[in-house]
Amino acid sequence: MARTTDTLVSMLQAQPVVPVIVVDDAGSAVPLARALVAGGLKAIEITLRTPPALDAIRAIAAEVPEAIVGAGTILNARQYREAEAAGSKFIVSPGMTQELLDASSKSDVPLLPGAATASEVMALVEEGYTMLKFFPAEQAGGAGYLKALSSPLAGVRFCPTGGVSAANAPDYLALPNVVCVGGSWVAPKNLVASGDWDAITGLSSEAATLGTGTISV
């Protein structure tokens, strides 16, 4: 587990913001990924909330080699296997189940499991996970809650996602237990729909300059 955790952290710590993308049209996936990478955001999470998501992951993995494409909203072992087969380099779940734990143990693709409470964090630490998704971040207590966890759970690092924006991202990134944040603001649906890739590159460039907290693995 330490090996896959190290791999995951090395992917995510290189940028302060991981774009969380809902793909409505697989045809937009490649130019969108290129726009994000051009702005400095190479690790990209494609959520499995829409039918084209797996096709989008396949296309990005095949045509944008400089991108590190991951799959989000993974809820079961079948989705884990499908995302891995499509070319995902990391897997993200909003929570954790025994089925996902088992799927992760059989895969070389690292898992970023979700947790929203201290008890959930402790349960995942017992399973060997020390890099977690804090979700839904704002609704679960925000930066203040994560700050409160930083002392009693000092060995755990987080990627807060859910309600994170350009306005509040710096509050999270200033925390010593935050590696990066996940957010959708770098690729608004209206810009994706209109194909304004230059604007998305601009938003990505701005996000890539946001400061990070202290990272210790």
Contacts of 126 (CB under 8 A, 6+ apart): none
Residue 186 belongs to a domain: yes
Q: What CATH number should be reported for the domain holding residue 38? A: 3.20.20.70
For residue 2, name the pLDDT band (cuts at 50, 70, 90).
Answer: low
pLDDT value of position 213: 40
Other CB atoms within 10 Å distance of the CB of residue 70: 28
CA–chain centroid gap for 215, Å, is 16
Judged by DSSP in three states, 137 sits in coil
Which residues span the domain enclosing 16? 2-208
Q: How many domains does the chain have?
A: 1
pLDDT (tens digit per residue) in 88-123:
999 999 999 999 999 999 999 999 999 999 999 999
Q: Is residue 215, in this structure, part of any structural domain at all? A: no
Locate 111 and state its tokens: 């898992």
Residue 200 has what pLDDT? 98
Beta pairing class for 43-47 and 17-21: parallel
The answer on pLDDT for 212 being more than 60 is: no
Predicted TM-score (pTM) above 0.85:
yes
Residue 78 domain flag: yes
* 214 within domain boundaries: no
C-beta separation of 61 from 83 below 8 A: no
pLDDT tens-digit map of 177-199:
999 999 999 999 999 999 999 99
pLDDT of residue 211: 74
Interval 3-62: pLDDT, tens: 678 889 999 999 999 999 999 999 999 999 999 999 999 999 999 999 999 999 999 999
Q: Is residue 109 part of a domain?
A: yes
pLDDT bracket for residue 216 (50, 70, 90): very low
Active site residues: 45, 133
- In this predicted model, what pLDDT tens digit does every residue of 113-164 receive, in sequence order? 999 999 999 999 999 999 999 999 999 999 999 999 999 999 999 999 999 9
Q: Strand pairing partners for 158? A: 132, 178
Domain-located, residue 213: no
